[in-house]
Amino acid sequence: MIMVTAKTHLMAALLIGTLIAAVADVPNVLLFVGLVLVASLAPDLDNPESTLGGMTKPVSNFLRLTLGHRGFLHTIYMALSIPVLLYFLGYIYPAVAVGIGYLSHLMMDSITIFGIKPFFPIQFDVRGSLRTGGPFELVIFTILGIGFLIVLNIFYLKLSFGDVSGLNLITDRLSSLLAYLTSFIPASITDLF
Ligand SMILES: [Zn+2]
């Protein structure tokens, strides 16, 4: 297995998508997060063995043959070109959603042993030590999942855990930490929406 599996890409996208949607207060959270999720799988259209590639075999076989797996679709230019196009067509927040989802895919792939070439065809590799499909990927998936549950609770559900004061203290601390961190996001970014 040389690639991050679809479920880990989706979990990373879910975490980032719901966090940004809440911080930027987007008008339609479901549409926004949906676009982030779709975009987070899109780069693997060049791999017939991926989940998305498997569903679109003729297209993915063609793309692998012409562009190579983790070739052109796994570059910074691709990650930016579709959002820039959407932006100039006037679709501001879909542009941001697609950009975030696509970049989250590249980020996840770049921590694998196989890595990516973000400036393909320039042979500059970004790679990490994640062996995909193994226990490490499961650990990362779990951490991302816990992160998502925390974001879900702090921004959307706002549950209080009854008398479990330790847990409430942790969610309180986390929510003030997130509020503090997001205060550094320039207003110009959140104004985009
Ligand atoms: Zn990939």
The pLDDT tens digits for 23-33 are 888 999 999 99
Q: Are 102 and 40 in contact (CB under 8 A)?
A: yes
The span from the CA of 145 to the CA of 151, in Å, is 10
Which residues lie at CB < 5 A from ion ligand 1? 43-44, 109
Q: Could you tell me the pLDDT band of residue 101, with boundaries at 50, 70 and 90?
A: very high
- Interval between CA 183 and ligand 1 midpoint (Å): 32
- Interval between CA 13 and ligand 1 midpoint (Å): 13
| Average pLDDT of the residues in 118-131 | 84
Residue 91: both structure tokens together? 């679709």
- Interval between CA 4 and ligand 1 midpoint (Å): 7
pLDDT at 3: 60
Residue 24: both structure tokens together? 């930027």
- Interval between CA 106 and ligand 1 midpoint (Å): 7
Residue 158: both structure tokens together? 């706002």
Over the stretch 135-156, which tens digit does the pLDDT of each residue have? 888 889 999 999 999 899 888 8
Asked whether the predicted pLDDT for residue 35 surpasses 90, the reply is yes
| Average pLDDT of the residues in 101-120 | 91
Query: Where are the domains positioned within the chain?
Result: 6-191
pLDDT at 18: 96
- Interval between CA 92 and ligand 1 midpoint (Å): 25
pLDDT at 190: 58
Return the amino acid letter for 121: P
- Interval between CA 167 and ligand 1 midpoint (Å): 36
Integer angstrom CA distances of residue 119 from 123, 125, 127: 7, 9, 13
Q: Are 45 and 106 in contact (CB under 8 A)?
A: no
- Interval between CA 44 and ligand 1 midpoint (Å): 5
| Average pLDDT of the residues in 22-47 | 93
- In whole angstroms, how large is the CA radius of gyration of the chain? 18
Share of the chain above pLDDT 70, in %: 92
59-79 burial code (b ≥16 CB/10 A, e <16): ebeebbeebbbbbbbbbeebb
